[in-house]
Every structure is written in structure tokens, then in C-alpha cells.
Amino acid sequence: MRSSISLGRIGGVPVGLNVSVLVIVVILVVGLAFGRFPIAFPGLPTAAYVLAALVSAVLFLASLLAHELAHAIVARRHDVEVTGITLWLLGGVAQLRGEPRSPGADLRIAGVGPLTSVVLGGLFALVTWGVSAVGGPALVSGMFGYLAAVNVLLAVFNLIPAAPLDGGRVLRAFLWARWGDRLRAAVAAARAGRVFGYTLIVLGFLNLVSGLGFQGLWLALIGLFLVNAASAEEQQTQIDAALHGIKVAEVMSRHPITAHPGETVAGLIDRLVLRHHLSTYPLVDDDGRFAGLVTLGRVRAVDPGRREVTPLREIACPPPDVPSARPDDLLTELLQRMSGSADGRAVVLDDGRIVGLVTPSDISRTIQTVDLRAREPYRTPRGADLAPHAPGGPPAGGPTSGGPSSSGTIRSTGRRDAA
């Protein structure tokens, strides 16, 4: 779930809107301005209803953002990196990279979102009472009353014990503490999420055939989202556990074929691409240092008429944007850094010099052969929040503060909340 519109940074965390959030805004404004508000507070100009609906929609989005920020703040306090927050069609996503180190940390990161929504609901209820007490407009009082109710409803829904909702994270934390096995706990929470998702789909279908139209469609949409997210989360958890303990050196393609940053695109095609049929070419400067990464996708994007005069440095992904690792790094840690990378590749460096590449093919091959490796079985950690991080643990994210990253082997963990 990527941001289409950047809202800047809050506390160092990038915040943005996915264009799909506009759908929720339209639904809220139309439903409130031409449905709920005119029925509850008749006799006012249409402009008043529209203005109140717009303010309600903006404050609702602000509530979702506060919910996600709470997740992000607590996650950072437990040394879990937060790469961004995105508001989208079904709520919000706090994108976490890394895993909580104990059941207690997992519980606190998950529980703070619904707690924030409950607190916001109480604040909006207090404002509602204040406006009524001073004889303010009934429409304004009703607007804040609506926001109070919707925040409490958001908290209750997200506490349903089904991943990837916040409640699924809470369930995982309790099962992890009870069983001492994070993998088993994460799989159980994901399967509960899938069951709940199918339940919503069935309820949505029943509403549709009963003539309740939009409400049934919305339930089915949320249910489908939960089923897909929970299934992907279970699969990712099992893959992470399978890859536990594998070093980057065991996976990487060694001695990659390189090119010079000053070589032209046409030169690369004639000298290497048509001969070796590879998809990735690291650039190495005159000092032997890594200087960028060129893929076939970037080569094809160059107009054929300009390939003779375009140097590779102009089309390469610059070094700071290419995930990197040392040969002794753990593969699971590198995969977290690769999440969201432009080209889906990583370079393996030794003292600034390239010694290998990690590509999607390398990762796929490793997953297919992981059961043939002789190594210690995966064991989940126990103990305090400061216990060493166990790589390859289950994902820390899921729909919660408003809305789910997350996708395949290379992924960034995200907390998602359904609106």
C-alpha cells in the first residue's frame, strides 16, 4: 500500500495518502450530508450539511492517522523501525520493518492503536457534551457525537481477535506468551483472521440477496481483504521461519558481471546483455567501488534512438537506493531492507566492493530448496524485550489502525486497520 500524496513527516515518520482514500471521503461526505445529518437535524441549508460532512471526514482521517501514529511511536520505542504511514480505502497502514522481541512488546504495539481510538472517542464525546451545554448548534454537536461513536466502533472492530487486525496481534501476543512459540502463535492468529474474513464475506452476500446492497458489498470487500491479508501473512510467517539462520553468502550469485558507469546503454546491450542474457548489471567505477545498479527494465525504458549517447550512470539506481548486505548478514534481515526497493535486487559488498547479488531468482531458489538444508530447527525467542532479535519471525503487521504490506517474500511489515 503506497502513498500517492505525501503529507510530509510527523516525528520523522513519512505520512501519506493513497489515492483510494478519496473513495472513503466521498462515501462519508455523501452519506452524512445527504443522509444522516438532514434526517437527524432537518431544516438547515444544504451547504451547512456539506460543510459539517467535510469537517467530519477530515477529522475521521485525522483519527485514523492518530491511531497509526500511536502504533508507530510504541513500535519505535521497542526498536522496531517504522518506514511510513499510509491512509487508504479501508483505513490506515503503519509500515513496520522488523519484529517485536517479546510477547509484551507485541501486545503493547498492537494494543495502543485501539486504545488511542477509545481515547479519541472520549474526547469527541466530551466536546459533544460541551457544545450542547453552551447551547451550540445541534448539527455541530451531532457531528462530534458521530465522530465519538465511529472512533469507539473502530476500536471495537480492530480488537476482534483475527489477524491482521490489531486484535489478531493481541491474540498472537497472548498465544506467544502461553506457548513460547511465535511461529505457532502467528499462524493461529492468521487462520483466525481468515475465518473471520470468510464470515464477513458470507454476511455481505446475505445482505446483498436481502436487498441491503451497499452495506453487503462493503462487508464482502472487507472480508475479502482480510482473507487475502491473513493468508499472505501465514505464508510469510512460514517462509520467514524456513529461512531462519541462512546467511546472505549462501544465497547470493557470486562474481556478478559488472559494467562501467560511463559505458553507454547500447554498449552494454552489445557487450553483455545479448551475450550473457542476465537481468542485472552492477556498475563499478575506476576504483572498483560499487556505483549503481542497472536492470533490463531500466535499459528497455531508454528510447532506442538515445541508447548510443546515454551513459549507464544516468539510468542506474544510485547506490544509496540499492539494498546492501555483507556476506555474513542474515538473509531474513536483508529481505526486510529489500522491501519496497525500486528494482527488487540487493548487492553484497565487502569493504565497498561488490562480491555478489541477491535477486528474486536467488530467493525463489532458496525457498524451493530450503527443506534440503541440514541446519538447526527454527526456535522462537523467549524473554524480555531486550532479548536478541530472532530473525525470520512472523510479520508484525496487519489491518488495524484503520486498514494490511504486505506481499510475497520481500515485504515490509505493516499494521493495517479497517475503517
Compute the distance between CA of residue 357 and CA of residue 338 in angstroms, rounded to an integer.
12
Q: Which of 68, 99, 233, 234 is catalytic?
A: 68
Can you tell me the distance from the alpha carbon of 360 to that of 296, in angstroms, rounded to the nearest whole number? 14
Cross-strand bridge partners of residue 81? 97
Cell readout for 152 is: 469507539
308 is catalytic: no
For 166, residues 6+ apart whose C-beta sits below 8 A from its C-beta are 110, 111, 113, 114, 158, 159, 398, 400, 401, 415, 417
What is d(CA 301, CA 216) in angstroms, rounded to the nearest whole number?
A: 44
Annotated binding-site residue? 244: no
Residue 417 marked in a binding site: no
Residue 181 assigned ligand-binding role: no
> How far does Cα 339 stand from its chain's mean position?
10
d(CA 84, CA 25): 21
Residue whose C-alpha cell reads 494490511 in the numeric block: 404
Looking at residue 130, its amino acid is G
**Residue 307: closest CA among 273, 274, 263, 264:** 264
Count the alpha carbons within 13 Å of 364 in the hemisphere toward its beta carbon.
6
Alpha-carbon torsion angle 145, 149, 151, 157, nearest 10: -170
Helix, coil or strand: residue 294: strand
Q: How far apart (Å, rounded) are the C-alpha atoms in residues 309 and 266?
A: 8
Contact 396, 78 (CB under 8 A): no
The residues facing 253 across adjacent strands are 357
Please check whether residue 310 is in contact with residue 302, taking contact to mean a CB–CB distance below 8 angstroms.
yes
Task: Give the SS3 label for residue 316.
Answer: coil
The conformation of residue 371, written as its DSSP 8-state character, comes to G
Residues in CB range of 146: below 8 A, 6 or more apart: 32, 36, 56
Residue ranges at the known binding site for Zn(2+): 67, 71, 166
Please identify every residue annotated as catalytic: 68
